[in-house]
Structure formats: C-alpha cells, structure tokens
C-alpha cells in the first residue's frame, strides 16, 4: 500500500515527504457506553488508513483518495467545506485543529486504506486520526497531546459529519498498542493497557456485508434516549445510574427509553466483569458476557439486524465461546471469541449457513491487535 501511495503522490505532486497511518479498531465489550460516560475495551487493528502528506505553500488542501478515485481541493476557512463525505472528514480535522488555536497550512495528500467500509471497524476514525496526527507533526511540532488528537476526530464527527459519537473509536485509533486492548473510562479518559493474547483462542470478525450509515441514523436517537433518561434521573450521565434508580423512575420514562437505559446500565457492569475475568484468564466468562451484550444490543438497544442475529445464533450452535454484534450497529460485523480447535469448522459452517439464507457469504477477518496513529516514514 505504501509504495502505491507514494507512486501516486509522485505522479500528482512531484516530491514525497512524510507518510502517516492510523488504524481501525475492534471493541471486545462496552458498546454504546462511551457517550454515557462508561467504560469500553477497544484495540487498534492491523488495518489502517495511510496518507502521504506534504506542505504545498498554498492556502488550500489538495487531496486524492485512491480507493474512491476522487480528487478534491478545499480552502481552510469554515465556508470552504467540501461536499464529498470523505473529504469532509479531512476538512473537519483541519478546522478543529485551527479552532483550538493550532496551525494548519495548505498541503497535498494522497491516501488509501484497507479497513472494510461500513463494517463497524471505524474507518472514519482512522481517517480522522491519520490526518490529525499528520497536522500535529507537520505544523505544530507535536504540541497537541494525544487526548486532544482523539477529541479533534470526535469533534469532526459532531460538527462536520452529523454523528454525535462518543470518544471510543478515535481514542483507540490514536492510542492503540500492539497486542493490547485499552480499558478506557470515557468520563475521565483514564486508561489502562490490557495485554490480550488469549492462549488457545482466536478473535474472528464475521462481516455480514450489510451496510450501515450512521449519519441521520438512529445512532443519534439512541444517544438522545440515554440523555433523556439521565435527565429524568437527575444524574449527569447513565454512568451514574444503577438499576434501582431506573426502576424508581419507571413511571416517568417511556417504555422505549427504559429499555435503552436498562441495556446501558447492564453493559457498564459487564465491561468491569470482563476486565476481572481477563485478569484471571477466564475466557469462558468473557465469552458469556459477550453473548449477554449481544442480547442487550439486539432486544433492548435494538441496534442489531436479522443477519447479525443469525450470525450470533450460528456461533452459539457451533459452541463458540463468545459472540456479539460490534460497533455502532445497524449492520457490520460480529466479533467472536473462538477456541483454536473450533475456528475452521465454525467459519465453514457460518459461511455455508449464511450463504444459504442471504445469498452471499460473510467476510472473515482474523484480528491482529496493532499500533494506532503513527508516522510511517
């Protein structure tokens, strides 16, 4: 990928200078908890967005997306926002850097990536983090700390892309570390690296290839439900609520909002239980909690879909240790914790059964937990 990007850059802009990358992410457990001030357990993966970037001495950005085969130019003022969604991520990052009092000057860029789009692996966070990292390195002597780099990506989603996401994806993309999951407290941003090399197990993603679109989607509505309930309970966020509080206010909350909050409060505890289980090397408990999360996301939070429920059922039937829908939902992947000896048979069965029902096989990705944002050259 690197050579191809540099070749394209040379052909379009002459001379190369620096190349940056940032990763997609998985999340073991802790879904839809980030914007509720709760805990998450993501890790960066070995699939990334990579960009060659060089200052151009102009007051505009010129950027070519190799994968979409589109070239876009834009200025750096608020009114210069490009129309193309992919370019808005880069524009948004530039604007958010500038708004924080840091520097962005005109630059040229060519980028490409190997993170499957719409699979729930946060290709957009990887794009944001890659450019946030580049802007910091090229124009700001790396003065912007990593927390702020993650927030720049998150604000880009909020202010330029219409998704009121939490901090998990950008945090994982910026802070990712080889072979480690990150237990992140999304309220304080305290984090801890958890070495994750489960002996005798593999993490496998099954991509249903059902596309989700979080812009204008029910994602923002889920967040609104949570905020309404927190308001009714008189707490800053659902992180501060227990089931007893929720039950005490049952009469003041719609049935739908109640279910949403019930899921979030349960999930908060599940992340902590999984951390304890990981410390003991107790993968059976980890897996059990993953199934519970799936059940919650499907029946209470209602962000799953038929295809992903089916993949979850197949995992259960095959005796897979843990399985659940991963990421924002409305399509995408399941994440599966599978014993080594079951791995091949599970994948074969899942492919066959899914294809029989939906006419195409799910895509399979073995997960390698890797480093996050970095300068490659």
- Which residues are catalytically annotated? 169
Output phi, psi for 60, to 5 deg.
Answer: -140, 165
- Using CA atoms, how far apart are residues 335 and 37, in angstroms rounded to an integer? 23
- Binder of ligand GLA out of 43, 113, 327, 362 (CB under 6 A): 327
The overall longest dimension of the chain from CA atoms, in Å, is 66
Pick the piece of the chain touching ligand GLA (CB under 6 A) from 29-37, 225-233, 279-287, 344-352.
Answer: 29-37
Output phi, psi for 216, to 5 deg.
Answer: 55, 25
Query: Tokens 């909050």, residue?
Result: 261
DSSP 59-74: SEEEEEETTTTEEEEE
DSSP 115-144: SPTTSSS-HHHHHHHHHHHHHHHHHSTT-S
Instruction: Note whether 108 binds ligand GLA by CB under 6 A.
Output: no
Instruction: Note whether 207 binds ligand GLA by CB under 6 A.
Output: no
Pick the piece of the chain touching ligand GLA (CB under 6 A) from 55-63, 161-169, 234-242, 336-344.
Answer: 161-169
- Binder of ligand GLA out of 169, 257, 307, 309 (CB under 6 A): 169
Binding string, 332-351, against ligand GLA, x = CB under 6 A? --------------------
Least distance to ligand GLA from the beta carbon of 136, Å? 21
Task: Classify the C-alpha dihedral 130-218-315-269 as positive or negative.
Answer: positive
Pick the piece of the chain touching ligand GLA (CB under 6 A) from 9-17, 166-174, 271-279, 281-289.
Answer: 166-174
- Binder of ligand GLA out of 19, 29, 31, 184 (CB under 6 A): 31
How far apart, in Å, are the Cα atoms of 128 and each of 74, 152, 153, 171, 260?
16, 8, 5, 11, 29
Least distance to ligand GLA from the beta carbon of 251, Å? 29
How many Å is the Cα radius of gyration of the chain? 21
Instruction: Note whether 35 binds ligand GLA by CB under 6 A.
Output: yes
Instruction: Note whether 32 binds ligand GLA by CB under 6 A.
Output: yes
According to CB under 6 A, which residues from 280 to 309 bind ligand GLA?
A: none
Pick the piece of the chain touching ligand GLA (CB under 6 A) from 56-64, 140-148, 163-171, 195-203.
Answer: 163-171
Least distance to ligand GLA from the beta carbon of 369, Å? 17
Residues 129/372, Cβ–Cβ less than 8 Å: yes
- Binder of ligand GLA out of 37, 328, 331, 372 (CB under 6 A): 328
| H or E segment to which residue 193 belongs | strand 191-195
Count residues binding ligand GLA (CB under 6 A). 11
Instruction: Note whether 175 binds ligand GLA by CB under 6 A.
Output: no
Task: Give the nearer residue to ligand GLA in terms of CB position, either 52 or 169.
Answer: 169
Task: Give the nearer residue to ligand GLA in terms of CB position, either 296 or 347.
Answer: 296
Closest to 152 measured CA to CA, from 221, 109, 106, 90: 90
Least distance to ligand GLA from the beta carbon of 331, Å? 12
Helices 146-160, 168-175: axis angle to 10 degrees equals 140
- Using CA atoms, how far apart are residues 220 and 226, in angstroms rounded to an integer? 10
Least distance to ligand GLA from the beta carbon of 56, Å? 31
According to CB under 6 A, which residues from 42 to 101 bind ligand GLA?
A: none
Which ranges in 281-365 belong to alpha helices (H)? 283-295, 306-318, 343-358
Question: Interface residues with ligand GLA (CB under 6 A)?
Answer: 31-32, 34-35, 122, 165-166, 168-169, 327-328
């Amino acid at each position: 990928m690197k050579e191809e990007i540099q070749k394209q850059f040379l052909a379009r802009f002459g001379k190369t200078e620096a190349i940056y990358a940032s990763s997609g992410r998985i999340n073991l457990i802790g879904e839809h908890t980030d914007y509720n001030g709760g805990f998450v357990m993501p890790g960066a993966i070995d699939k990334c967005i990579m960009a060659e970037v060089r200052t151009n001495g102009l007051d505009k950005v010129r950027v070519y997306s190799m994968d979409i085969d589109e070239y876009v130019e834009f200025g750096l003022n608020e009114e210069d926002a490009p129309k193309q969604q992919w370019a808005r991520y880069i524009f948004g990052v530039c604007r958010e850097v500038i708004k924080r009092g840091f520097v962005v000057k005109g630059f040229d860029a060519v980028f490409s990536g190997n993170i499957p789009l719409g699979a729930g692996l946060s290709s957009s966070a990887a794009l944001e983090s890659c450019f946030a990292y580049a802007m910091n390195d090229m124009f700001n002597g790396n003065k912007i700390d990593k927390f702020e780099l993650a927030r720049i990506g998150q604000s880009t989603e909020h202010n330029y892309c219409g998704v009121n996401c939490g901090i998990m994806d950008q945090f994982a993309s910026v802070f990712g570390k080889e072979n480690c999951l990150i237990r992140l407290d999304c309220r304080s941003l305290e984090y801890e690296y958890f070495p994750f090399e489960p002996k005798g197990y593999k993490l496998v993603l099954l991509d249903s290839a059902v596309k989700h679109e979080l812009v204008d989607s029910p994602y923002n509505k889920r967040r609104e439900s949570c905020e309404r309930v927190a308001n009714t309970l008189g707490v800053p966020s659902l992180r501060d609520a227990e089931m007893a509080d929720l039950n005490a206010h049952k009469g003041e909350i719609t049935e739908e909002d109640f279910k949403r909050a019930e899921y979030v409060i349960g999930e908060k505890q599940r992340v902590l239980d999984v951390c304890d289980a990981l410390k003991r090397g107790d993968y059976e408990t980890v897996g059990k909690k993953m199934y519970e999360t799936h059940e919650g996301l499907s029946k209470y939070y209602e962000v799953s879909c038929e295809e992903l429920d089916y993949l979850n059922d197949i995992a259960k039937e095959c005796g897979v240790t843990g399985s659940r829908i991963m990421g924002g939902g409305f399509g995408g992947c399941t994440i599966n914790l599978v014993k080594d000896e079951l791995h091949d048979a599970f994948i074969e069965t899942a492919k066959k059964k899914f294809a029989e029902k939906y006419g195409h096989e799910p895509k399979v990705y073995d997960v390698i937990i890797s480093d996050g944002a970095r300068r490659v050259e």
